[in-house]
A and B are shown apart, each in its own frame.
Chain A
Amino acid sequence: MHIHKYEKIWLIFGLTTLLVFLSVLGVSAFYLGNQPPSCLATINPEKVDTTKPFNKPGLKKVEGKDWDYELVFVASAFNYNPGEIEVPKGAKVKVIATTKDVIHGFEVAGTNINMMLEPGFISEFETTFDKAGEFLIVCNEYCGAGHHMMTSKIKVVEA
């Protein structure tokens, strides 16, 4: 079979980029251990208020873990608990969130924190808050009549 010289060039180019992108994905998942925010951790959605750590939403310092703080959020139609929270700048934080009713979104605008909160599942995201400022949290999964008013705020303040 005859393949034109140029055809060979772009076939190799296409296959190479495909391999590069798949390798990036593979290294990210299997070597760096990245996983989706909701990854097998479950909870009884009717007992969120009495289940640790969701019985005390907010920021708390933890010892002996890879992260310094745990930031716990509970979402329900149509608000987040806490409605506003301060985080010291430079803190290594694990954001842990779930919902009590329907699916909600959890997007911290202008950051990489963006996850879905599904009833029965716990969503987590680990990051270092290395920029000071106010960050708006918005629900980006339509959840009902008050969806557009469902917000919260993270204030990253100089420690």
Chain B
Amino acid sequence: MKRYGSLSAILYDEIVIIHFVIFTKGELREMPQPVIRKNTKAKTDDSSSLKGTLVSVFMVGLFLIATWVGVFYLFMDRF
């Protein structure tokens, strides 16, 4: 910020102060101490679900069976 001169520096300071006031709601003395919470469940996507895999496997399987049946009927139709 220094290279923009003192006006910018003042504006920057103002913004920092305003933010500080907003986020602390002006109550400087009653800032909550960070609490370390234990035994919390991390919220992540449930990667143990195999539904998509099941669907994919059956899509491939049914495609294979369909092509096999198709070729078999072609075989039966020809002499």
Report A's interface with B, CB cutoff 8 A: 4, 6-7, 9-10, 13-14, 17, 21, 110-113, 127-131
Contacts and interface: CB of A to CB of B under 8 A. Distances in A.
Nearest to B65: A17
Contact of B79 (A4, A7, A21, A111): A111
B64 A17 contact: yes
Given A4-B50, A6-B51, A13 B79 contact: no
- Dominant secondary structure of chain B at its interface with chain A: helix
Interface string B45-79: 00000110110011001001100100000010011
A112 B78 contact: yes
A66 B64 CA distance: 36
Contact of B54 (A10, A110, A127): A10
Nearest to B53: A6
13 contacts: A6-B53, A6-B54, A7-B50, A10-B54, A10-B58, A13-B57, A14-B61, A17-B65, A112-B78, A112-B79, A128-B79, A130-B79, A131-B79
A88 to B, nearest CB: 13
Given A7-B50, A10-B54, A17-B61, 10 more contacts: A4-B50, A6-B50, A13-B57, A14-B61, A17-B64, A21-B68, A111-B78, A111-B79, A112-B78, A112-B79
Q: Which 9 A-B pairs have the closest CB atoms?
A: A6-B50, A6-B54, A10-B57, A112-B78, A127-B79, A111-B78, A130-B79, A111-B79, A4-B50
Contacts of B54: 6, 9-10
A131 B77 CA distance: 10
Nearest to B72: A24
Contacts of B61: 10, 13-14, 17
